[in-house]
Amino acid sequence: MLVTEKNALTIEIEDLTKRFGNQRESLLPILQEVQLKHGHISDFAQQEIARLLDIHPVEVYGVVTFFSFLSTEPKGRFIVRLCQTISCDLAGKEAIAHTLEKELGIKFGETTQDKKFTLEYCNCIGMCDQGPALLINEQVFTKVTPSKVIDILKKFN
C-alpha cells in the first residue's frame, strides 16, 4: 500500500470515528462503511480503527472475522450471494448455481480475474416465497431462472 493511500485511509477512518463516535459501540458501523467502500477491511484499516477506538487490533480482527458480510481479503466489486437455504433449494437453487458458475467462469468462493464478481452462497435472505433468490451487493433478485441470470449479470458493469 502506498503511503498516500494509507494517509487517505487514515483520514477516512478518522472521519468515520467523528461521525459515529470513537466508542466501542461504533465499531460495527465503522467496519460496515469501510467494507462498503473498499470491498474489504485491510490489516492496515483494522489497525487504524483499533488505534482510533483505543482497543487492541485483535479485537477488531475478531469482529471482522465473525461476520460473514465483512472480509479481510479483497473481493470483487459485485458480490453475488445465492441463497442456499431450504425454500430456495426446493425452488431450484441448484440450476441457478450451475448457471452462475458457467456464466462467470468461476466456482463458489472465487472471484473473477477482472475482480468484478465474487460468487458466494449465503443463508436465508427472507425471500422464501419468491425463490430462488440472490443478492448482488445490496440488491435483491427473486424468482430467478437460468435465463434471467444472464440478464441480471448484464446489469452490473
Residues lying near other proteins in the complex (CB under 8 A) are found at 23-29, 31-32, 35, 53, 62-63, 66-70, 84-87, 89-90, 122-131, 135, 138-140
Given the complex with other proteins, which of 28 and 95 has the nearer CB atom?
A: 28
C-alpha cell at 8: 487517505
- Judge contact between 75 and 40, C-beta under 8 A: yes
**What's the distance, Cα to Cα, between the start and end of the chain in Å?**
26
Residues 6+ away with beta carbon under 8 Å from 125: 81, 83, 133, 134, 135, 140
Given the complex with other proteins, which of 94 and 151 has the nearer CB atom?
A: 94
Residue 3 Cβ vs other proteins, minimum distance, rounded to whole Å: 29
Rg (CA), the chain: 18
Enclosing H/E stretch for 78: strand 78-83
Residue 117 Cβ vs other proteins, minimum distance, rounded to whole Å: 18
Residue 120 Cβ vs other proteins, minimum distance, rounded to whole Å: 10
Residue 105 Cβ vs other proteins, minimum distance, rounded to whole Å: 25
Q: What are phi and psi of 36, to 5 degrees?
A: -60, -45
Enclosing H/E stretch for 6: helix 3-20
Given the complex with other proteins, which of 6 and 71 has the nearer CB atom?
A: 71
Whether residue 132 has a cis bond before it, omega within 30° of 0: yes
Residue 47 Cβ vs other proteins, minimum distance, rounded to whole Å: 16
